[in-house]
Structure 1
Amino acid sequence: MRIMAAAASASPSAATGMFSELNNGIAHFYDTSSGVWENIWGEHMHHGYYDPGLPRRAAFTVDHVKAQVRMIEESLKWAGIPDEAESRPKKIIDVGCGIGGSSRHLARKYGAEVVGITLSPHQAQRATSITSAAGLSSKVRFQVADALNQPFPDNHFDFIWSMESGEHMPDKEKFMAELVRVTKPGGRILIVTWCHRELVEGENSLTPSEEKLLKKVCDAYYLPAWCPSSKYVNLAHRMGLEDVRSDDWTENITLFWPAVILSAFTLRGVVGLVKSGWTTIKGALAMSYMVKGYNSGLIKFALITARKPIQGS
Structure 2
Amino acid sequence: MSACWLSLEGQPLPRSLLCALLQRKPLKEGIANFYDESSQLWESIWGEHMHHGYYPKGGKPKSNQQAQIDMIEETLRWAGVDGATKMVDVGCGIGGSSRHIARKYGCEARGITLSPVQAARANAITQAAGMGDRVSFQVGDALNQPFSDGEFDLVWSMESGEHMPDKRQFVRELARVCAPGGRIIIVTWCHRVLQPGEAGLTEEEQSLLDRICEAYYLPAWCSIADYERLFKEQGLTDIKTTDWSEEVAPFWGEVIKTAFTTEGISGLLKAGWTTIKGALVMPLMAQGFRMGLVKFVLITARKPQ
Q: How does the TM-score come out when normalised to structure 2?
A: 0.93
Equivalent position of 2:265 in the other structure: 270
Q: How does 1:88-167 map to 2 (within 5 A)?
A: 88-167=83-162
- Unpaired segments ≥5 residues, structure 2: 1-13
Question: How far apart in 1 are the matches of 2:46 and 2:92?
Answer: 16
Question: How far apart in 2 are the matches of 1:39 and 1:190?
Answer: 28
Does residue 287 of the first structure (1) align with residue 300 of the second (2)?
no
Deviations 1:88-144 (A, max 9, x none): 210100000000100100110011100010000000000011111111101110000
Equivalent position of 2:171 in the other structure: 176
Residue 189 of structure 2 is aligned with which of 189, 194, 213? 194
Post-superposition offset of 1:53: 5.7
Post-superposition offset of 1:51: 1.3
Question: How far apart in 1 are the matches of 2:90 and 2:52?
Answer: 16
Equivalent position of 2:29 in the other structure: 24
Q: How does the TM-score come out when normalised to structure 1?
A: 0.91
Equivalent position of 1:36 in the other structure: 41
Does residue 255 of the first structure (1) align with residue 250 of the second (2)?
yes
Contact 2:237–2:303 (Cα < 8 Å) also in 1: yes
Partner secondary structure for residue 286 of structure 1: helix
- How many residues of Structure 1 are paired with residues of Structure 2 in the alignment? 292
For residue 252 of structure 2, what is the amino acid of its counterpart?
W
- Unpaired segments ≥5 residues, structure 1: 8-14, 83-87
Equivalent position of 1:11 in the other structure: none
Question: How far apart in 1 are the matches of 2:225 and 2:239?
Answer: 11
When the two chains are superposed, the root-mean-square deviation of aligned CA atoms in Å is: 1.3
For residue 181 of structure 1, what is the amino acid of its counterpart?
R
Post-superposition offset of 1:3: 3.5
Does residue 4 of the first structure (1) align with residue 17 of the second (2)?
yes
Question: How far apart in 1 are the matches of 2:300 and 2:24?
Answer: 26
Does residue 65 of the first structure (1) align with residue 57 of the second (2)?
no
For residue 3 of structure 1, what is the amino acid of its counterpart?
S
Post-superposition offset of 1:18: 1.8
Partner secondary structure for residue 116 of structure 1: strand
Seq. identity, %: 59
Runs of 4+, deviation exceeding 6 Å: none
Contact 1:254–1:294 (Cα < 8 Å) also in 2: yes
Question: How far apart in 1 are the matches of 2:19 and 2:46?
Answer: 36
Question: How far apart in 2 are the matches of 1:197 and 1:229?
Answer: 8
Question: How far apart in 2 are the matches of 1:131 and 1:148?
Answer: 25
Deviations 1:32-89 (A, max 9, x none): 00000000000000000011267xxx9xx6411000000000000000001xxxxx21
Contact 1:3–1:170 (Cα < 8 Å) also in 2: no
For residue 2 of structure 1, what is the amino acid of its counterpart?
R
Question: How far apart in 2 are the matches of 1:62 and 1:296?
Answer: 26
Contact 1:261–1:287 (Cα < 8 Å) also in 2: yes
For residue 30 of structure 2, what is the amino acid of its counterpart?
G
